[in-house]
Amino acid sequence: MNREEFHVQVEGLWKRFGHRVVLRNVSFHVARGETVAIIGPSGAGKSTLLRCLNGLCPFDAGIVRIGPHVLRPGKRPAPFATLRLIRQRLGMVFQDFQLFPHLTALQNIIEAPIHVNQMPRKEAERRALALLARVGMADRGDAYPRELSGGQKQRVAIARALAMEPFGLLCDEITSALDPELKAEVLAVLEDLRRDGMTLILVTHELAFAQRVADRVIVLADGEIIEDGPPHQVFAAPEHPRTSRFLEQVA
Ligand code: ADP
Ligand code: MG
């Protein structure tokens, strides 16, 4: 897939865990270069939805398109080679960083380019240093995760995702574990990526950030999309009474 083809299309997605329906008939589209914030109460299905988008979680009905690639219902959403291509171009960053604790920041970043993409080590290192600089961590490549603050760890995790040259990033509450001043440095990196044309799908509780930066805000409640619109509409004039209640609770 090339950059021009990249987009995310979800149509009629259903997901159950046992008898519990977690996603019901979820449909939305994210165009290339768009920033979409997904908000909603805990347990609404936000993390499950993100995991369905890059094939980490099988689903029961519906279809997901990532550019020209298709994920289908069933145990195996796509052949392994397709999943690899999708995960390369649609990276994911997690709340708890998920860095390899026994590897330095630099080693964390070069791991996948070397072992998944068979990139020569020297080139992977050269590019990793540039990525560390990009996230404001130029001088910390030799640090182990335990030696870094939460904000620094998260910026390394973003650099690691960027090492696969993704067109889009899925971010699951990546600032939720951080103190306010550390949140700001991670959010600044996201804004920089957005300016550069990265497609961003952000599950977040940072409503002020979503309001300022997102092109669209999607509200998920009980597995259903109850709002999908520009931030000024969703925050100022929501269509669903549940949205108002949710916004009051988190404000
Ligand atoms: P959110 O990210 O919006 O808080 P999640 O997607 O994590 O919501 O979870 C949605 C619902 O699915 C919750 O009720 C949760 O308990 C349930 N759930 C999530 N993962 C699993 C799993 N692996 N097995 C069973 N239930 C799960
Ligand atoms: Mg979650």
Position of tokens 């709340």? 95
Q: Is 223's C-beta closer than 6 angstroms to any atom of ligand 1?
A: no
Q: What is the pLDDT of residues 167-192, one digit of tens each?
A: 999 999 999 999 998 999 999 999 99
Position of tokens 């805990």? 42
pLDDT at residue 249 is higher than 90: no
Atom 23 of ligand 1, residue of closest alpha carbon: 17
Atom 12 of ligand 1, residue of closest alpha carbon: 22
Using pLDDT thresholds of 50, 70 and 90, give the confidence band for residue 31. Answer: very high
Q: What is the pLDDT of residues 135-149, one digit of tens each?
A: 999 999 999 999 999
Q: How far is the CA of 8 from the centre of ligand 1 (A)?
A: 22
pLDDT at residue 58 is higher than 80: yes
Q: What is the pLDDT of residues 210-219, one digit of tens each?
A: 999 999 999 9
- Which ligand is closest to the CA of 43, given by its number? 1
Q: Is 15's C-beta closer than 6 angstroms to any atom of ligand 1?
A: no
Per-chain mean pLDDT for the chain: 96
ipTM for this model:
0.98
Atom of ligand 1 nearest to the CA of 49: 6
**Mean pLDDT score, 130-134:** 96
Q: What is the pLDDT of residues 2-14, one digit of tens each?
A: 999 999 999 999 9
Q: Is 35's C-beta closer than 6 angstroms to any atom of ligand 1?
A: no
Q: Is 42's C-beta closer than 6 angstroms to any atom of ligand 1?
A: yes
Using pLDDT thresholds of 50, 70 and 90, give the confidence band for residue 21. Answer: very high
Q: How far is the CA of 33 from the centre of ligand 2 (A)?
A: 24
pLDDT at residue 251 is higher than 80: no
Q: Is 100's C-beta closer than 6 angstroms to any atom of ligand 1?
A: no
pLDDT of 250 reads: 83
Tell which one of 15, 17, 24, 92 to mutate to probe ligand 1, the residue whose CB is within 8 A of the most ligand atoms. Answer: 17
- What is the 3-state secondary structure of the chain? CCHHHCCEEEEEEEEEECCEEEEEEEEEEECCCCEEEEECCCCCCHHHHHHHHCCCCCCCEEEEEECCEEECCCCCCCCHHHHHHHHHHEEEECCCCCCCCCCCHHHHHHHHHHHCCCCCHHHHHHHHHHHHHHCCCHHHCCCCHHHCCHHHHHHHHHHHHHCCCCCEEEEECCCCCCCHHHHHHHHHHHHHHHHCCCEEEEECCCHHHHHHHCCEEEEEECCEEEEEECHHHHHHCCCCHHHHHHHHHHC
Q: Is 176's C-beta closer than 6 angstroms to any atom of ligand 1?
A: no
Atom of ligand 1 nearest to the CA of 18: 25
Provide the 10 A C-beta neighbour count for residue 146: 9
pLDDT of 214 reads: 98
Q: What is the pLDDT of residues 81-115, one digit of tens each?
A: 999 999 999 999 999 999 999 999 999 999 999 99
Percent of residues, the chain, with pLDDT higher than 90 = 98
Q: How far is the CA of 45 from the centre of ligand 2 (A)?
A: 7
